[in-house]
Chains A and B, each alone.
Chain A
Amino acid sequence: MATGVAAWLPFARAAAIGWMPVANCPMPVAPRDNHKRQDELIILNVSGRRFQTWRNTLDRYPDTLLGSSEKDFFYNEETKEYFFDRDPDAFRSILNFYRTGKLHYPRHECISAYDEELTFFGIIPEVIGDCCYEEYKDRKRENLERLQDDQEENKDMKLPKLNFRETIWRAFENPHTSTMALVFYYVTGFFIAISVITNVVETVPCGSTTNQKDMPCGERYTVAFFCIDTACVMIFTVEYLMRLFAAPSRYRFMRSVMSIIDVMAILPYYIGLVMTNNEDVSGAFVTLRVFRVFRIFKFSRHSQGLRILGYTLKSCASELGFLLFSLTMAIIIFATVMFYAEKGSSSSKFTSIPASFWYTIVTMTTLGYGDMVPKTIAGKIFGSICSLSGVLVIALPVPVIVSNFSRIYHQNQRADKRRAQKKARLARIRIVKSGSANAFLQSKRNGLLNELLELTGTEEDEQKLIKSTSLLESQHHHLLHCLEKTTCYPVCSLQAHEFVDEQMYKQNRLETALQNDPSRSPSICSHDSSVGTCCSHRVKRNAALPSVSVPSTHPIPMHQGPLQELRAIHIQCGDLPSHTTSRSNLNLKTDDSGRINCRGAQITTAIICLPTPSALTPDGDGLHGPPQQRPPPPLGHPAAPSIQTTTSSAGTNIIKVSAL
């Protein structure tokens, strides 16, 4: 159904009368318009800005939100208008779509924001008019590329299991991935430099000896240079073969520019080995040595700037071609003119047109060697015209190449900048995430605190310690709490798992290890003050527990007092690695399960350490377990270690908190 011309439907139907006399069969009955209502103005309130339009305007596109009954969901009875909590600026262009039938993309809008608005209102982006469609698509593509770049960075971080070949290839392509690759990278770079330098030095005349003429160093120290050359070629060959082996697509690798350069760098040596001192081919051999200079191009793997340069030249191929073509044209024209102008003068150097090419080139590029100079007046006139026009012809395509280079270079800079910024961004995001998780833990403790406060009934402390959390937060925390409860196994000996701080978890693991080896004393720090200045001390809650419960057997030096002494423990949390792995570890083993230490926010809690009952009387849900006063287990119990372990394992649920 034509949507944009819905207004013309009455006309089309009326014109159908033209078919009636011709028709053979009777016509079907026309649908009745039962909801015949007068066209009315409806008000669309978008974030406070009121738009008004005819209902018919919106009905033009019945498969969008505004054109269908979906907008009834947004109808506000009191104000008799449709309220949308969206961006009013973007809504303008959407409403204009209904009015004019063409959707325009406002250039100042962010592309993803605009896309979201379109999706919300049920309009497909393909209806964007031709005037704006190209811009829209361009920006969308740019955005996608940017996101893809970021994803590719992520891909680098994730390391799926690579086999040997892939590891080598990766090491070659990204030298920063492993130290070996870096070493190899620098070694090859060094050898390339050596090779190039030897090539250069070979031709320098060394000091004269008894021989009459000055020999170049190459001929004087033949053996030394040959050794160096051999060594370099060895390295290059090995590198090439390894790359060939590791390449995912050998055929494509062999066709790539860098591999061709590699081959050209090492081939002359082997050809020279094969060839004997045959006089006929020595000329060709000398030519081959020239190709050794291509080794310098191998540096492009080491230098990004070189690569950018090469890429620029490739992308400016058409401009370069034009430059070349126009230069050739000009050269031929001026050479011809100069030749004929100078034909008259005697002893003229302009012996033929090709000979004049040299003069033209030298003049047009404003070199002006002066080896060929026009003598006739006409020649001088044309010569000056030649030099003036040369400046123009050369100057024209150059800015294009320069701008291309600048664009690509800046793109590269931006990519590097983005990569650096990303690390900072990710770190910040991680902190926020860990902050929210810690908020849950904190509120949990406060929640327990509150519950116990209710039990003990101290009013003032209750007011002090109840932190006001928003409804949203409390509901979210309740949800996480429910999740914890859900992970309770049907067998009651295991308790519900908890979300805990990562640091606590690590400490717990450490402690359980330590408890099995009681000779070592962990570092414990607990302050009584409420202001946290704890730097890197890790508070070992569990260490406190066994120490309290079994003070005599545990050699850990404790500053704490008796059993029911309250401690304020500061857990200073820093930035965290991900929680999920530690949580899953929680679910795995209960022995090692414990708290995860957190290193980020500051959590001030007061904890009373209570001994657990032995494993014979399992706690069920230790969180709401028995009241705080509990007799300590018999000290010197032979099963002290078991108590300790049960403490540690059941210690997960002994966070009995009481008022300070």
Chain B
Amino acid sequence: MTWAQRTTCSVLEQNSVEDELELSAVRHRPEGLEQLEAQTRFSRKELQILYRGFKTECPSGIVNEDTFKDIYSQFFPQGDASTYAHFLFNAFDTDHNGSVSFEDFVMGLSILLRGTVQEKLNWAFNLYDINKDGYITKEEMLDIMKAIYDMMGKCTYPVLKEETPRQHVEVFFQKMDKNKDGVVTIDEFIDCCQNDENIMRSMHLFENVL
């Protein structure tokens, strides 16, 4: 249902400048307000506010990965948020077309802010599962962990050591991997999280964000 107008852009090179040109030639209009209202759990007013903010930052209507990284990095000035932003981008870009449109954006937010705990945990699992094969391996988790620790930056107390992410991953797997097969499946994950009080409480943390 969504449609994108592509104006003429003859030779598509893999240049970032060309990409920008291409994007600027692309205009994306979201579906109507009613449809989005039906699909997400946001009210009309909230959708309006969200769209206004979105459109101001991305006048063309879609976000590509570089812009996404830029925006996200601005919230974490002391560290390097680009890796984590990459993972986030993939989590939001549900149809994997390399750009996040307003619908993707708002659907993701709807889950995160207004969804059930199950849905949120599902989303988180999706985030960790980099190759989307249904299993979280230690390597995937390590990547995610390193990305999170990268966001902290260098100036931390106590000083971050090389093996801190690895240790953290070990702790995570000890907790989550019930059958000790080296991977975490979605059921193990949800089970484990639902039994953990801290995690449950923190899931409700951002409910009144909008």
A23 with B198, Cβ < 8 A, contacts A17-B112, A100-B56 known = yes
Contact B109 A11 (CB under 8 A): yes
Is the C-beta of B155 less than 8 angstroms from some C-beta in chain A? no
In the complex with contacts A17-B120, A33-B208, A22-B112 CB distance below 8 A: no
Alpha-carbon separation in the docked complex, A4 to B58 (Å): 12
Q: A13-B206, A18-B127, A39-B49 in contact; A24/B74 too (CB < 8 A)?
A: no
Q: Nearest residue in A to B72 (C-beta to C-beta)?
A: A12
Find the B residue at minimum CB distance from A22: B172
Residue from A4, A14, A24 in contact with B206 in the complex, judged by beta carbons closer than 8 Å: A14
Give the distance to chain A from B130, nearest Cβ to Cβ, in Å: 12
A23 to B176, CA, bound (A): 12
Q: A21-B121, A22-B144, A22-B145 are in contact. Are A16 and B105 (CB under 8 A)?
A: no
Number of A-B contacts (CB under 8 A): 100
Within B73-126, which residues are at the interface with A (CB < 8 Å)?
74-75, 77, 88, 91, 105, 108-109, 112-113, 120-121, 123-124
Q: When chains A and B are docked, how far (Å) is the Cα of A26 from the Cα of B205?
A: 11
Chain A stretch 1-38: residues in CB contact (< 8 A) with chain B: 2, 4-5, 7-27, 29-30, 32-33, 38
Roughly how many angstroms separate A11 CA and B46 CA in the complex, as a whole number? 13
Tell me whether B134 is interfacial, beta carbon within 8 Å: no
By beta carbon, the residue of chain B nearest A14 is: B112
Partner of A38, one of B45, B121, B171, B199: B45
Please determine whether A5 and B57 come into contact, CB atoms closer than 8 angstroms: yes
B35 at the binding interface (Cβ < 8 Å): no
Contact A17 B203 (CB under 8 A): yes
Residues on the A chain within 8 Å of B50, using CB? 10
Which of A7, A10, A13, A19 has a CB less than 8 Å from the CB of B148? A19
Selected from A2, A9, A17, A99, the residue in CB contact (under 8 A) with B56 is A99
CA distance A56 to B202 in the complex (A): 28
Interface range on chain A (Cβ under 8 Å from partner):
35 or more
For the side of the interface on B, what is the size category? 35 or more
Nearest chain B CB to A6's CB is how many angstroms away?
Answer: 8
What A residues does B45 contact at CB under 8 A?
38
Q: Pick from B52, B77, B199, B201: contact of A7, CB below 8 A.
A: B52
A17: which B residues are within 8 A, CB to CB? 112, 120, 123-124, 203, 205-206
Q: Are A13 and B209 in contact (CB under 8 A)?
A: yes
A20 touches B54 (CB 8 A): no
Complex Cα–Cα for A16 and B202 (A)? 10
- Report yes or no: B112 in contact with A21, Cβ–Cβ below 8 A: no
CB distance from B77 to the nearest CB of A (A): 8
Judging by beta carbons under 8 Å apart, are A20 and B53 in contact?
no
Chain A residues with CB under 8 Å of B74's CB are: 2, 4-5
State which of A8, A22, A24 has its C-beta within 8 Å of the C-beta of B57: A8
Determine the chain A residues whose CB is within 8 A of the CB of B176 once the complex forms.
21
Cα of A21 to Cα of B113 in the assembled complex, Å: 16
Contacts of A20 in B (CB 8 A): 124, 199, 202-203, 205
Contact of B208 among A2, A11, A30, A99 (CB under 8 A): A30
Assembly CA distance A4 to B202 (angstroms) = 28
B49 to chain A: which residues have CB within 8 Å?
39, 56
Indicate whether A15 sits within 8 Å of B112 (C-beta atoms), given known contacts A5-B57, A21-B124.
yes
| B168 near A22: Cβ-Cβ < 8 Å | yes
Contact yes or no, B148 A22, CB < 8 A: yes
- Does B12 sit within 8 A of A, measured CB to CB? no
- Do B193 and A21 touch (CB < 8 A)? yes
Chain A residues, Cβ within 8 Å of B202: 20, 23, 26-27
A56 CB contacts on chain B under 8 angstroms: 49
> In the complex, which residue of chain A has the Cβ closest to the Cβ of B50?
A10
| Inter-chain contact B144/A14, CB cutoff 8 Å | no
Look across to chain B and name the residue whose beta carbon is closest to the beta carbon of A99. Answer: B56
By the criterion CB–CB under 8 Å, are B201 and A27 in contact?
Answer: yes
Which of B53, B91, B120, B128 is A8 in contact with, Cβ under 8 Å?
B53
Q: Which residue of B lies closest to A1 (CB)?
A: B75
Question: Is B145 a contact partner of A18 (Cβ separation < 8 A)?
Answer: no
CB distance from B46 to the nearest CB of A (A): 10
User: Which A residue's beta carbon lies closest to that of B49?
Assistant: A39
Say yes or no for B210: interface residue by CB 8 A criterion. Answer: yes
* Cβ–Cβ contact B199 & A15, under 8 A: no
Among residues of B, the one whose C-beta sits closest to the C-beta of A8 is B71
Which residues on the B side are within 8 Å of A26 (C-beta)? 198, 201-202
Cβ of A14 and Cβ of B127 under 8 Å apart?
Answer: no
Q: Which of B189, B206, B210 contacts A16 (CB 8 A)?
A: B206
B209 CB contact (under 8 Å) in A2, A10, A27: A10
Residues of A within 8 A of B148 (CB): 19, 22
Least Cβ–Cβ distance between B178 and chain A, in angstroms: 15
Q: Beta-carbon contacts of B166-210 to A below 8 Å, as 1s and 0s? A: 001001100010000000000001000100001101110110111
> Which chain A residues lie closer than 8 Å to B75 at the CB level?
2, 5, 8-9, 12
Expressed in whole angstroms, the Cα–Cα distance for A12 and B209 within the complex equals 10
A-side contacts of B206, CB under 8 Å? 13-14, 16-17, 30
**Cβ of B71 to closest chain A Cβ, rounded Å:** 5
| Most chain B C-beta atoms within 10 Å of own C-beta, residue among A10, A17, A33 | A17
Determine which residue in B50, B112, B203 has the highest number of CB atoms from chain A within 10 A of its CB, and name it.
B112
Residue in chain A with minimal CB distance to B172:
A22
Contacting residues of chain B (5-24) with chain A, CB-CB under 8 angstroms: none
Docked complex Cα distance between A101 and B208 (Å): 26
A11, A29, A30: the one contacting B105 at CB < 8 Å is: A11
Given the interface pairs A5-B74, A18-B88, the reply to whether A32 lies near B208 with Cβ below 8 Å is: yes
A439 to chain B, nearest CB (A): 55
Residues in B neighbouring A23, C-beta threshold 8 A = 198-199, 202
Min CB distance A511 to B, Å, is: 75
Q: State how many angstroms separate the Cβ of B81 from the closest Cβ of chain A.
A: 10
Shortest CB–CB separation between residue B127 and chain A, in angstroms?
A: 5
CB-defined contacts of A101 to chain B, threshold 8 Å: 56
Report the minimum CB–CB distance from A19 to chain B (whole Å): 6
Q: How far is the CA of A18 from the CA of B202 in the complex (A)?
A: 11
Q: Which residue of A lies closest to B46 (CB)?
A: A10
Distance (whole angstroms) from the CB of B111 to the closest CB of chain A = 9
- With a cutoff of 8 Å between Cβ atoms, the chain A residues found around residue B145 in the complex are 22
Query: Chain A: residues with CB nearer than 8 A to chain B?
Result: 2, 4-5, 7-27, 29-30, 32-33, 38-39, 54, 56, 99-101
A–B complex contacts, Cβ < 8 Å, 8 sampled = A2-B75, A10-B50, A14-B109, A14-B112, A21-B121, A25-B198, A26-B198, A54-B52
9 additional A-B pairs beyond A14-B209, A21-B128, A24-B168, beta carbons within 8 Å, are A7-B53, A11-B109, A12-B75, A13-B206, A17-B206, A20-B202, A22-B168, A23-B198, A101-B56
Closest 5 CB pairs of A and B: A7-B53, A2-B74, A14-B112, A27-B202, A20-B202
